Structure formats: C-alpha cells, structure tokens
Amino acid sequence: MTLSIKSLTGKNVVVLGDIMLDRYIWGDVTRISPEAPVPVVLAKKESSVPGGAANTASNIVSLGGNSILIGVIGNDDAGLKIRSHLTENRISNMLTIEPNRPTTQKTRVMGNRQQLARLDKESRASISANTEDEVIRKIKEATKKCDAFVVSDYAKGLLTVRIASTIHEECEQKKIPIICDGKPQNKELFKNSYLITPNKKEAYAMAEADDKESIESVGQKLSHELNCNVLITLSEQGMILFEKKRAVTKIPTKAKEVFDVSGAGDTVVAATALSLAAGMPLIEACKIGNYAAGVVVGKLGTTTITQKELEKAIKDDGQ
C-alpha cells in the first residue's frame, strides 16, 4: 500500500462546505476560581487554524493533492485570518463573503494540554439567495477540473437544496465521485452520493434508529435508503464500511495514542477522497483514511497529516 501513496500527488479535489476558524487559547491551570468551581487558566498564547471544510482542504494539500475550497465567510477579522491561512498554505479557494454573516468560530480553552471549554460564534441561518447563486456558479467552474468532490456539511446554512442538486448534476455529468461528511438533518441531500462518512452517533440519527439496533443494521439501512456506500467511523473501534453491493468490511483502528479527536473526521474524509481521486478501490481508500486518522488523533488541536507521516504509519504497521 505504501507505494500507492505517491499516487495521491497532484490529484484535484473540490471541497464545498462550512468554513470555520478554530481558535485556541493555551495556558496553565494551577488553581480553582474562588468565584465558581471552575479552573483558572493563566493564558500564555493564542493560535488559530482553518477548521471545518477548510481543515479538510488543508489535509488534502498536506497529503500532496490540490484542493479548491468553496464556502462562505463573513466580512470580519476571522474571515481575514482564514484567507491568510489559506494563502500561506497554498490552498486555492473560491470564497464568497456575506457581509451580514459572521465567520463561524470555535474557540477552545486549553489548560495543561487539555480542553477545558469551547466557545462558538456562528449563524445557522440559510445563506442569502445572492450568495447561493454565487456558490452555484463557483461549483460549475470548479468541477471543470476535478477528480473527486467533497461535501463538508456542519449544518451552518451553506448546503441548500439548489446547491446539493447542482453538485449532483455536475458530478454525475462529469463522472466525479461525491464524498459527503454531513449532519443528519441534511441526509436527504446526500442521496445518490458515492460515499457518506457519518460517525456512529450521526449514523444512528440518520437512520432514526435506537440503541437496540446493531451497527450492521444501521449501516445497511442507510446504504439502501440513500443509495450510496457508507463508512461509519467508530472512534477507538475503527471503522466499518458498507458497500452498496452489501459487502461489509470492518477496519480496526490504527491509532497508537489519542490526545485530541478535533478535526479527525475531516482528515478521514480528506485522505479517503484523495485516494479515490487517485483511482484506488473503495476499501483501500477507506483504509488509508483510517491510517490518516490514527496519526492526527495523536496530535493536539486541529491539525493536518503529511504524505510522509502517512507513509510511515502504514510502513510501521507492516503494510
């Protein structure tokens, strides 16, 4: 498998989705507040990285691929920081600015290398009609040179019926596989995609299943209802792949240590989509996504994986 990793280089993956800025406040904790039973964090530094769909695009580029990022940001400091990060990391983008909409931010307070709190700033309202028209125009332009298309949906208002329909029409016409990492409330928009990648909680919600149903039942139900392949991520238990032809493959986790799962799902999607763009079989592509996730959960914060790190993880596993 290691030799095939080189084939990821130069493949083109379009990523459309909810873009956010992941901010971190890093500090030390030595006492409890006298005002309330909460830790007092002595802030030492702050940092920020692209999150959400932007993290997926970042991982694609760090793995050697090319990515065009389509999404919406606000006319604010967070939006400026995202554009600066994208430029620094050579990530092509087709961003649309919606002036009255804040750029989504997740601010994590880290004390002694542990996440203590998260503060979110966002709007979940649907994008405006003018913004929707602009995004659709950019989808049609971006798919002219595209080997795979990723939908990174966090239910922040970007993914509309018209946008989803445009993605399916353009990709079907051009024979481009669609990989969807989305929220349960938008599941109808993922129908007829090539692959969806929910975690266990999302999969059960999509299938409207209770805890008594087996994961096998849930996966097969989703594959049938949505007419697509389904990759369910199971955290420390790895992944399980349900193919449309009803084949089921369990993929054990490759994580050696787990420090932080922030952004791990984005990495799975990025590595899997890039592998599919390179023409790899679905099972092999999902296994590569699993190796990639095993690397990033061993890092702290939202982060990316390089092609060299991926090759080492596969080689260390004897593959």
Over the stretch 102-130, which tens digit does the pLDDT of each residue have? 999 999 999 988 899 999 999 999 999 99
- pLDDT at residue 64, as a whole number: 95
Whether 196 has a pLDDT exceeding 70, the answer reads yes
- Residue 260: pLDDT band (50, 70, 90) is very low
Lowest-pLDDT choice from 119-123, 199-203, 219-223, 304-308: 304-308
Name the pLDDT band for 252 (thresholds 50, 70, 90): confident
Q: Average pLDDT for residues 205-234, to the nearest whole number? A: 95
d(CA 91, CA 67): 6
> For the domain that residue 309 is a member of, what is the CATH number?
3.40.1190.20
Two tokens at 179? Answer: 């990989």
- The overall average pLDDT reported for the chain is 92
Q: Give mean pLDDT, residues 169-181.
A: 97
Predicted confidence at residue 151, as pLDDT, reads 98
* Whether 293 contacts 310, CB under 8 Å: no
148 lies in a domain?
yes
DSSP 199: B
Q: How far apart are CA 45 and CA 283, in angstroms?
A: 42
The boundaries of the domain holding residue 270 are 2-18+52-104+125-316
9 falls within a domain: yes
CA 53 to CA 13: how far, in whole Å? 12
The answer to whether residue 32 sits within a structural domain is no
- Taking the C-alpha atoms of residue 315 and residue 3, their distance in angstroms, rounded to an integer, is 10
Asked if the model's pLDDT at residue 179 lies above 60, the reply is: yes
- Residue 89 or residue 300, greater confidence: 89
Q: How confident is the model at residue 249, as a pLDDT? A: 94
In the prediction, which pLDDT does 261 show? 57
CA atoms within 13 A on the CB side of 148: 31
Locate 170 and state its tokens.
């353009």
Q: Which candidate in 18, 22, 147, 266 is catalytic?
A: 266
Q: Are 18 and 152 in contact (CB under 8 A)?
A: yes
Tokens describing residue 186: 């938008």
Q: Which residues, in sequence order, are CB contacts of 247 under 8 Å at separation 6+?
A: none
Least confident of 3-7, 277-281, 296-300: 296-300
CA atoms of 231 and 272, how far apart (whole Å): 10
Question: How far, in Å, CA of 258 to CA of 126, rounded?
Answer: 35
Please tell me the distance from the alpha carbon of residue 241 to that of residue 246, in angstroms, as a whole number: 10
Average pLDDT score over residue span 289-300: 82
- Total domains, the chain: 1
191: in domain: yes
pLDDT cut 70: percent of the chain above it: 94
Closest to 43 measured CA to CA, from 59, 30, 61: 30
Tokens for 82?
A: 């995202």
User: What contacts 137, CB < 8 A, 6 or more positions away?
Assistant: none
Residues in the chain: 319
In a domain, 113, yes or no: no
Tell me the pLDDT tens digit for each residue of 33-80. Answer: 999 999 999 999 999 999 999 999 999 999 999 999 999 999 999 999
Q: Is the entire prediction scored with pTM above 0.75?
A: yes
In a domain, 270, yes or no: yes
Q: Is residue 285 part of a domain?
A: yes
Q: Which two tokens stand for residue 159?
A: 């993914």
DSSP H helical ranges for 101-182: 129-142, 161-174
Question: Token pair for residue 31?
Answer: 């006492």
Instruction: Judge whether 310 and 290 are in contact, CB under 8 Å.
Output: no
In the predicted structure, residue 16 carries a pLDDT above the cut 60: yes
Q: Is 316 a catalytic residue?
A: no
Could you tell me if 61 and 69 are in contact, meaning their C-beta atoms sit under 8 angstroms apart?
A: no
In whole angstroms, how far apart are CA 30 and each of 21, 43, 44, 53?
A: 28, 12, 13, 36
- pLDDT digit string, tens, across residues 264-293: 788 899 999 999 999 999 999 999 999 998
Q: Hey, what are 52's tokens?
A: 């959400």
**Cβ contact 308:271 at 8 Å:** no
Mean pLDDT of 249-275: 78
52-62 burial: b if 16+ Cβ within 10 Å, else e: bbbbbbbbbbb
